[in-house]
């Protein structure tokens, strides 16, 4: 297939992958092992090995760093992840190929876990399978004595394990999915780290801001936003509700999702209906239409109205174009509701956990 060049490609926005300790030859062999050869650029610069796709390849297959159609060309999820890293406007740095391979496996684990996750949407409730989890004030949900961390995470998020859907917010659910992906990789390739994760979750739940600080890197910012269509499978990201009134309803401030690859984003409440970028934007737009006020003056969301409005917009090309033009704008800063849309400027991805380059510093256990 001969790529069609795009006049809109920003050549200075291809950074790709940088490795500190592996040769050009080893990196070429690694990429070739995953079916990446044509138009791959591997070069030594100031003692580092840099890998990225050529500008011509990127212009044809990922104009403006758009990764959402890679599934049309990639042979598997691994190749899709590598392609996304190789055309990234953000420089992804690894010590060696072992660390890169580990990072790719973690992303695959997260994407696969997100596809299997199905939960009950109750933003003010929280429930876990009691055979594996117990709630302790201050500590949060911790493992029952003898419970295995991986089994416990699967039981809480994948209904095939227990036959039941458990109550989660989308933010907490994304933490469980990410932790599961890390734990699976650690169990297979870094057992000492897995044992530490196991012991930590027996006494203390790492959540919210602490989870972000311990387990994740954030890349991109409002000052230097990522391209609107650039996503790497395994990334966690935020879609903001740009409507001030409906964003006051608990659980509708926005939506945390995992990019699963294949142009699809996680839908933890209806996993058989994963979101595309379009359907996610349209759903959030119509939260303003589902806003209701009950007899006590409390705001709530009528999902039936939202679903009807979404279906109508998706069936009306002119209306869809108008909605997407608004929602595909970069979001406003915190506390501001003006001209911004729902797109965030940044993404989050897991810290590296290969034994040769482990970045995790777990909280001390008392």
20 vs 23: CA distance, rounded Å: 9
What average pLDDT does this structure show over 275-283? 98
**Is the pLDDT reported for residue 3 higher than 60?**
no
The residues spanned by each domain of the chain are 11-94, 116-218, 236-345
Per-residue pLDDT at 124: 60
- Start-end of H helices in 122-234: 149-157, 170-189, 191-201, 208-215
116 vs 157: CA distance, rounded Å: 8
Integer CA distances (angstroms), 176 to 5, 7, 190, 264, 336, in order: 41, 42, 19, 19, 30
% of residues, the chain, pLDDT over 70 = 95
Per-residue pLDDT at 63: 93
What average pLDDT does this structure show over 154-161? 96
Residue 71 binned pLDDT confidence (cut-offs 50, 70, 90): confident
**Is the pLDDT reported for residue 2 higher than 50?**
no
Residue 123 binned pLDDT confidence (cut-offs 50, 70, 90): low
Per-residue pLDDT at 162: 94
Parallel, antiparallel, or unpaired: how do β-strands 347-350 and 216-219 relate? antiparallel
Burial string for 14-41 (b: 16+ CB within 10 Å, else e) reads bbbbbbebbeeeebbebbeebebeebbe
Q: Each residue of 352-364: pLDDT tens digit? A: 999 999 999 998 7
152 vs 363, higher pLDDT: 152
Per-residue pLDDT at 122: 65
Q: Which uninterrupted H or E stretch holds 26?
A: helix 24-33
Per-residue pLDDT at 169: 84
Q: Each residue of 166-211: pLDDT tens digit? A: 988 888 999 999 999 999 999 999 999 999 999 999 999 998 889 9
% of residues, the chain, pLDDT over 90 = 87
Integer CA distances (angstroms), 256 to 206, 217, 240, 269, in order: 17, 16, 9, 12
- The answer to whether the pTM exceeds 0.85 is yes
Q: Which two tokens stand for residue 29?
A: 């062999």
* Mean pLDDT rounded to a whole number for the chain: 93
């Amino acid at each position: 297939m001969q790529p069609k060049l795009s006049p809109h490609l920003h050549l200075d926005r291809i950074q790709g992958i940088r490795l500190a300790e592996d040769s050009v030859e080893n990196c070429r062999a690694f990429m070739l092992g995953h079916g990446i050869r044509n138009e791959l650029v591997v070069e030594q610069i100031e003692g580092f090995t840099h890998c990225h796709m050529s500008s011509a390849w990127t212009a044809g297959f990922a104009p403006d760093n758009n990764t959402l159609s890679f599934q049309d060309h990639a042979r598997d999820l691994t190749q899709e992840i590598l392609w996304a890293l190789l055309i990234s406007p953000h420089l992804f740095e690894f010590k060696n190929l072992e660390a890169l391979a580990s990072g790719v496996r973690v992303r695959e684990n997260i994407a696969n876990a997100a596809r299997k996750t199905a939960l009950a949407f109750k933003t003010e409730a929280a429930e876990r399978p009691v055979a594996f989890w117990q709630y302790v004030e201050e500590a949060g949900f911790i493992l029952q004595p003898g419970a295995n961390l991986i089994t416990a995470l699967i039981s809480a998020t994948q209904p095939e394990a227990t036959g039941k859907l458990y109550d989660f917010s989308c933010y907490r659910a994304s933490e469980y999915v990410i932790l599961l992906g890390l734990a699976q990789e650690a169990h297979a390739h870094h057992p000492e780290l897995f044992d530490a994760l196991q012991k930590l979750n027996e006494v203390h739940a790492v959540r919210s801001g602490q989870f972000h600080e311990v387990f994740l890197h954030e890349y991109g910012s409002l000052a230097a936003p990522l391209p609107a269509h650039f996503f790497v499978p395994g990334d966690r990201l935020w879609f903001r509700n740009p409507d001030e009134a409906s964003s006051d309803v608990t659980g509708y401030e926005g939506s945390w999702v995992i990019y699963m690859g294949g142009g699809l984003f996680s839908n933890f409440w209806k996993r058989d209906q994963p979101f595309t970028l379009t359907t996610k934007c349209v759903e959030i737009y119509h939260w303003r239409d589902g806003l209701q006020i009950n007899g006590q003056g409390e705001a709530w969301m009528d999902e039936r109205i939202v679903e009807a409005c979404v279906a109508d917009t998706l069936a009306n090309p002119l209306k869809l174009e108008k909605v997407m033009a608004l929602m595909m704008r970069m979001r406003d800063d915190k506390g501001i509701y003006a001209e911004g849309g729902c797109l965030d400027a940044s993404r989050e991805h897991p810290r590296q956990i290969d034994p040769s380059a482990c970045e995790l510093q777990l909280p001390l256990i008392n």
